[in-house]
Amino acid sequence: MSVRLGVMASGRGSNFLAIQSEIEQATLDAEIALLISDRSNAPALKQAEKRHVPAKTFPYDKSDRAAFEKSAGDAIDAAGCDYIVLAGFMRILTPYFIERFSGRILNIHPSLLPSFKGLHPQRQALEAGVKFSGCTVHLVTTDLDDGPILAQAVVPVLDDDTEESLSTRILKQEHRLYAEAIRGLSSK
């Protein structure tokens, strides 16, 4: 049965688009019931509009994270989502939200976790001199970039790589990997 997804994105939304494209091509049996953003100018919102995916913005006030999380959580429940897919969502979720949707939040991180958690993982990989990096889809727990790993993809790190060239190589794998991980999920 088709899995209903709530996607949360803060930026350009290429992972959101990759998932939506697989749905449209019927290579992924899912539906994006709702896209949520914390930024009213996120390019992801424009993409959602073009693809006729319902979208909502809830303003994010750092001094009142609970307000955003309550509104976003209620909207996700109202849309009947089985899972929440974080796709470039640039806010740290609090335990309130993570526990409310325990075991039902996925994240993608552009490194082979548990290596290079946090910001700029591609830069961290270059600085560490690793020969391979990649991306990881995992379930979200209250520890940052942690939680059970659902899928990983490996890419080589080349001698002349820049942060940009490595990010591009990893992103190509992210677009494939997220749908692959979602295929492994089951609906309610």
What are the helix (H) ranges across the chain? 14-24, 43-50, 65-78, 95-100, 121-128, 163-183
Task: Between 70 and 152, name the residue whose CB sits nearer to ligand GRF.
Answer: 152
Contact stretch for ligand GRF (CB under 6 A) within 5-13, 22-30, 70-78, 98-106: 5-13
Distance CA 183, CA 25 (A): 14
Q: Of these, 34, 125, 174, 179, which contacts ligand GRF (CB under 6 A)?
A: 174
Query: Is 52 annotated as catalytic?
Result: no
Task: Between 30 and 108, name the residue whose CB sits nearer to ligand GRF.
Answer: 108
Question: Smallest Cα–Cα separation from 119: which of 161, 91, 84?
Answer: 91
Q: How far is the CB of 188 from ligand GRF (least distance, A)?
A: 26
Q: Of these, 4, 8, 13, 134, which contacts ligand GRF (CB under 6 A)?
A: 13
Tokens at residue 29, please?
């049996």
Task: Between 36 and 74, name the residue whose CB sits nearer to ligand GRF.
Answer: 36
> Residue 28 is inside which H or E element, if any?
none
**What is the CB neighbour count within 10 angstroms for residue 182?**
22
Assign 152 to helix, strand or coil: strand
Q: Of these, 3, 14, 47, 82, which contacts ligand GRF (CB under 6 A)?
A: 14
- Interaction of residue 12 with ligand GRF, rule CB under 6 A: yes
137 DSSP β-pair partners: 108, 151
Q: Which residues does the annotation mark as catalytic?
A: 109
Residues that bind ligand GRF (CB under 6 A): 9, 11-15, 87-88, 108-110, 171, 174
